[in-house]
């Protein structure tokens, strides 16, 4: 019987579905036990992970029978995809399965930060009643700039347009037909920085995108936008982000991802209740509904692949 190793949380119903056909070892905390993980991955045919399990070359080399990696999510930066490709190991992300969750997160952050809700909330609970000192703006009529126009970017676009926002996007891999279908103008990266009231990042982490949003990028942001990153933390230079906020180059920011996770202590010590910001612990794509969709999708793909 073929063996499947699941190293992080997966909906139990989906685990049970795979277990009906294959020998499954499910330990949602296995990613924290590297020695045990190294010994258990040796003879498995498939491994299913989220983003905490680091499938590097050293670990993958030990997996002599491995032919399938299921990713309970979208980003692949914790998986050595070059090694997998060279060794005929199929890597299957759950593309699109958490897109609704992330898109809702982006829009909710945009609405909250445009209305300065973090500052309003913190001022109110300490008794300041900042009713006349807080500037509040609407999403309608604003320009939303999307860095990346894949599945999630398109979901964000549709939601923003419901509020009456204009959407522009940068994505060199998107055809003009997609732009026309979604009533979006495809522009350059710099155009996003210069012309957006809200900027939302939907890019993979690569050598080209690391520190893409930096001091130089912020200097181009003439409209003092809101910046939202629900993609990968290292795309935004966090030091430059905080400096841009203190220099009023941006009016607020929301981060769901960070250059190191859990978030670096030096970073959150610089954030305080007087700032128009939202910090969340990499949960933008994690809802009850998305967990079910992601788990069911990867379960089906695992069964399909190993069954052939």
Catalytic residue among 202, 232, 238, 293: 232
CB-CB contact of 170 with 146 (8 Å): yes
Establish whether 232 is a catalytic residue: yes
Rounded CA-CA distance 31/8 in Å is: 7
- Residue 182, helix vs strand vs coil: coil
To the nearest 10 degrees (0 to 180), the angle between helices 151-162 and 99-114 is 40
State the Cα–Cα distance between residues 268 and 88, nearest whole angstrom: 42
Q: Identify the sign of the CA torsion 151, 113, 277, 218.
A: positive
Q: Is residue 293 among the annotated active site residues?
A: no
Decide if 70 contacts 92 (C-beta within 8 A).
Answer: yes
Q: Looking at 261, 265, 289, 293, which residue is catalytic? A: 261
Instruction: With H, G, I as helix, E, B as strand and everything else as coil, classify residue 44.
Output: coil
For 247, residues 6+ apart whose C-beta sits below 8 A from its C-beta are none
Q: Strand, helix or coil at 212?
A: coil
Write the CB contacts of 2 (distance below 8 Å, at least 6 apart in sequence): 22, 23, 45, 46, 306
Q: Answer for the pair 179, 187: CB distance below 8 angstroms, yes or no.
A: no
CA terminus-to-terminus distance, the chain: 13
* CB-based contact 97:72 (threshold 8 Å): no
- 71 counts as catalytic: no
- Which residues participate in catalysis according to the annotation? 232, 261, 282
């Amino acid at each position: 019987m073929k063996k499947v190793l699941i190293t992080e949380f997966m909906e139990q119903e989906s685990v049970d579905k795979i277990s009906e056909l294959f020998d499954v070892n499910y330990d949602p905390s296995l990613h924290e036990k590297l020695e045990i993980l190294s010994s258990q991955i040796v003879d498995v045919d498939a491994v299913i992970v989220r983003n905490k399990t680091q499938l590097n070359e050293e670990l993958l080399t030990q997996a002599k029978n491995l032919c399938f990696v299921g990713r309970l999510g979208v980003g692949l930066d914790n998986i050595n995809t070059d090694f997998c490709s060279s060794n005929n190991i199929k890597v299957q992300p759950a593309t699109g399965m958490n897109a609704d969750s992330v898109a809702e997160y982006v829009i909710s952050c945009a609405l909250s930060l445009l209305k300065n809700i973090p500052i309003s909330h913190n001022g109110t609970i300490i008794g300041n009643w900042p009713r006349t000192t807080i500037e509040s703006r609407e999403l309608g009529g604003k320009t939303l700039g999307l860095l990346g126009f894949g599945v999630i970017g398109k979901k964000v676009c549709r939601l923003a347009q419901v509020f009456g926002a204009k959407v522009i996007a940068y994505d060199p891999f998107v055809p003009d037909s997609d732009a026309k279908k979604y009533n979006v103008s495809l522009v350059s990266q710099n155009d996003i920085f210069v012309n957006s009231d809200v900027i939302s990042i939907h890019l993979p982490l690569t050598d080209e995108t690391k520190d893409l949003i930096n001091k130089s990028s912020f200097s181009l942001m003439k409209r003092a936008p809101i910046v939202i990153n629900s993609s990968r933390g290292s795309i935004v230079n966090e030091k430059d982000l905080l400096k841009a906020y203190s220099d009023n180059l941006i009016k607020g920011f929301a981060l769901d991802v960070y250059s190191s996770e859990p978030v670096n202590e030096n970073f959150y010590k610089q954030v305080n209740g007087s700032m128009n910001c939202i910090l969340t612990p990499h949960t933008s794509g994690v809802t009850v509904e998305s967990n079910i969709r992601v788990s069911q999708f990867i379960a089906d793909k695992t069964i399909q692949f190993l069954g052939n």
